[in-house]
Amino acid sequence: MRPRPVPTSTEPDLALARRCAKGDAGAREELFRRHAPLVYRLAYRLVRNATEAEDVLQEAFVEVLASIHGYRGEAPLRSWLCRIAVRRALRHRNRRTRSAQLELLSGGAEVAQDAVALLDSRAILRSINALLDQLTEDKRAIFMLHEVEGYSLPEAAALLGISVTAAKKRVWRARRDLERLARGDPALASYFERGGSSDV
C-alpha cells in the first residue's frame, strides 16, 4: 500500500482539534495514534531513557488536550506537540541531573569524595548546562536538538514547526548568547569560540 501524502494544510488538524475539544474519544485516540510515535522518538532522543520518554509523551498529550480548545491552526498539531515534548524533556533532564548529584553527595564521606572528583571532572559540562538554562526556550530547544542531539537543521526545524532559515538564526543567536554568558570563564569562552557548525 502506498503511503498517503502528508497534507500541507492545517485544516485536517483543525478539524481533529475541534473534535478533541468537544470530548470526542475517537478523535483523541486518533490524535495519539497519529503523533505518538514521533513525539516518543523525540522525547527518547532527548532523555535517553524509555520510562522517562513515556512520561514525556503522556505529559505532552495531557498538556495539549487540556488546551486543545485554543488551537487555531496557525501551525501543525505535530509541531505544537513536539515543542511541548522538547520543553518537558528538558525539564526531565534537569531534574535527573540534580537528583543524581544530590544522591552522590549524600552517600557518606567516601562516596562524597568520589562524587566531588566526578563533578570536578565534569565542571565544563555542568557550567554549560547552567548556561543553557539561561537561554530562552526557543533558543535552548533548537540548540539542544541541533548541537547536542545531532539533528540536522532541516530536521530540527521541522520538529519545531519553523523554517530552516529561522532555525539557523536561532542556533546562531543561541551560540552568541552562550559566548556572551561564558565570557567570565576562560575555559567556557574557549569552548564556545571553538564551536560552530559550518551550516549556520
Tens of pLDDT, residue by residue over 10-66, are: 788 999 999 999 999 999 999 999 999 989 988 887 787 899 999 999 999 999 999
pLDDT at 41: 86
162 to 131, 141, 165: CA distances (angstroms):
24, 12, 8
Task: Return the CATH number of 11-121, one of 3.90.100.10, 1.10.3110.10, 1.10.1740.10, 1.20.1050.10.
Answer: 1.10.1740.10
pLDDT at 17: 94
CATH annotation of 123-200? 1.10.10.10
76 phi, psi to nearest 5 deg: -60, 150
Q: Which residue did the predictor score with more confidence, 167 or 193?
A: 167
Q: Residue 167: exposed, middle, or buried by beta-carbon count in 10 A (0-12, 13-18, 19+)?
A: buried
Question: Domain boundaries in the chain?
Answer: 11-121, 123-200
Distance (Å, whole) CA 43 – CA 38: 9
Task: Give the contacts of 20 (CB within 8 A, at least 6 positions apart).
Answer: 27, 28, 31, 65, 68
Tens of pLDDT, residue by residue over 143-175, are: 877 887 677 888 888 877 789 999 999 999 988
- One fold for both 11-121 and 123-200? no
